[in-house]
């Protein structure tokens, strides 16, 4: 959520930065509300100070010999009671204005970082680097063809179980999914991440804190009888792991990795990728998440991205790093690097991880601070997929396909899977 002080004192900055995202917003009315709220706060503080002084005067007068029931003391008490009523009225007005501002600001996306390139859409994203040699040859199959041929999953029967855009992994497919999850978690915990297995159901406050609500309510699955939702990403429960807390500065950075199933309605809204593992309503993902000191967030962004890249490199999967432009930036992100893995069967790079620094945007929504010296300030949060498991499997199938119809797996995953090959040798 955006800073109310910035809205009050420099709305032009907010407007200009949101314009970089393609949003044209008149903040005049909200600025007036923010200034009125501050004026009321100043009036209330002044009255409270006067009330405290009057309380002291009553005690002093009585101690000096004044009649506790006399006119002098009673006049002070009457003024004190009047101040209490005025303060109560001002507090109610402040609360109403505060809620009005929060309801408005919570719908605004994060301001892009200065380093984020300007652009209108994904066509303006900037390629930063490439790693590995993309396999390019004719006659290669796409992952969904390989998976169906080798019996790695069942799509049609999954519609009977649930609906379209769900899939049931079978045999070697289920085993490879499990192997990839364990491999990714082991890689990240070896780098010092704390493994977390959070609840899959999350409440509205958790979704609001991370930025999914209210904007993405229609893209999420909600339980009918409870204030609970199926988590769209482990970023949501990990953000709320320290919601409304003050973290000692010496504990920063806090680095977590978590495996969760993820659930998103939007998977079916795309015209392509209607087969296989790329766009599903339910998919598995290993998430990386940092709480860090604001002074270190830029360096942390590079680190979290490198940790995601290292999974691809260890699995020998060619990829490229893309920096998202302002027009393609996620709601909560200030700056984002997408990692796109090469799928030789499809002949294209496809997103497999998105690594974002959110600044204090999520921390303000979720009230997460750290204590340094005598004061507190908001932490910075970062998140990144480390990695999306189904898309990693798709990449392994396409990059490892052999002329005899089998799939050769990278050496790093073979001990987890129990073999270096799927299908006939």
Give the per-residue pLDDT at 356.
98
Instruction: Please report the DSSP string for 104-163 in residue order.
Output: HHTTSPPPPPTTSPP-SSGGG-EEEEEES-----TTPPPHHHHHHHTT-EESHHHHHHS-
- Residue among 21, 44, 165, 279 flagged as catalytic: 279
264 catalytic per annotation: yes
**Per-residue pLDDT tens over the stretch 163-190:** 999 999 999 999 999 999 999 999 999 9
Whether residue 279 lies in the annotated active site: yes
pLDDT value of residue 352 = 98
Low-confidence ranges of the chain (pLDDT < 70): 267-273, 425
Q: Domains of the chain, with CATH numbers? A: 4-105 (1.10.287.40), 122-422 (3.30.930.10)
* The pLDDT of residue 269: 47
Q: Which of 351, 406, 419, 421 is catalytic?
A: 351
Torsion angle, CA of 151/153/158/164, rounded to 10 degrees?
-110
- Which one of the listed residues 264, 335, 365, 369 is annotated catalytic? 264
Tokens encoding 387 = 């990695």
Q: What is the pLDDT of residue 425?
A: 59
Question: What's the pLDDT score for residue 270?
Answer: 52
Q: Is 79 a catalytic residue?
A: no
Instruction: Provide the mean pLDDT of the chain.
Output: 94
Q: Which pLDDT value is given to residue 63?
A: 82
pLDDT attached to residue 75: 86
Q: Give me the catalytic one of 210, 240, 354, 356.
A: 354
Task: Examine the residue annotation and report whether 160 is marked as an active-site residue of this protein.
Answer: no
The reply to whether 391 belongs to the active site is: yes
pLDDT for 24 equals 95
Per-residue pLDDT of 271-306, as tens digits, reads: 566 789 999 999 999 999 999 999 999 999 999 999
> Rounded distance, CA 296 to CA 301, Å?
9
């Amino acid at each position: 959520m955006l800073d109310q002080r910035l809205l009050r004192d420099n709305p032009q900055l907010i407007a200009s930065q949101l314009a970089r995202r393609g949003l044209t917003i008149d903040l005049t009315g909200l600025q007036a509300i923010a200034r009125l709220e501050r004026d009321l706060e100043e009036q209330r503080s002044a009255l409270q100070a006067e009330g405290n002084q009057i309380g002291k005067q009553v005690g002093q007068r009585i101690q000096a010999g004044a009649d506790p029931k006399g006119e002098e003391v009673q006049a002070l008490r009457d003024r004190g009671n009047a101040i209490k009523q005025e303060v109560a009225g001002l507090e109610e007005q402040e609360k109403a204005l505060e809620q009005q501002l929060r309801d408005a600001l919570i719908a605004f996306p994060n301001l892009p970082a200065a380093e984020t390139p300007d652009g209108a859409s994904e066509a303006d994203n900037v390629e930063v680097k490439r790693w590995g040699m993309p396999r390019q040859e004719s006659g290669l199959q796409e992952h969904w063809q390989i998976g169906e041929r080798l019996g790695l999953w069942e799509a049609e029967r999954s519609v009977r179980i649930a609906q379209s855009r769900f899939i049931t992994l079978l045999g070697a497919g289920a085993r490879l999914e499990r192997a990839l999850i364990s491999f990714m978690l082991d890689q990240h915990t070896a780098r010092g991440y704390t493994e977390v297995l959070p609840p899959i159901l999350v409440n509205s406050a958790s979704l609001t804190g991370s930025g999914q609500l209210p904007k993405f309510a229609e893209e999420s699955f909600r339980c009918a009888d409870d204030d609970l939702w199926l988590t769209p990403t482990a970023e949501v429960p990990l953000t709320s792991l320290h919601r409304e807390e003050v973290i000692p500065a010496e504990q920063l950075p806090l680095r977590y990795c978590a495996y969760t199933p993820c659930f998103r309605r939007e998977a079916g809204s795309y015209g392509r990728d209607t087969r296989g593992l790329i766009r599903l309503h339910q998919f598995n993902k290993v998430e990386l998440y940092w709480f860090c000191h604001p002074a270190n967030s830029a360096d942390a962004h590079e680190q979290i991205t490198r940790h995601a890249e290292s999974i691809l490199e260890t699995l020998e999967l060619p990829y490229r790093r893309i920096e998202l432009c302002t027009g393609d930036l996620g709601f909560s992100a200030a700056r984002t690097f997408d990692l796109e893995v090469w799928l030789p069967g499809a002949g294209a790079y496809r997103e497999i991880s998105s690594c974002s620094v959110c600044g204090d945007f999520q921390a303000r929504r979720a009230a997460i601070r750290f204590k340094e010296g005598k004061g507190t300030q908001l932490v910075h949060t970062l998140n990144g997929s480390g990695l999306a498991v189904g898309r990693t499997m798709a990449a392994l199938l396409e990059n490892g396909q052999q002329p005899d119809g089998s799939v050769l797996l990278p050496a790093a995953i073979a001990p987890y899977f129990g073999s270096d090959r799927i299908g006939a040798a």
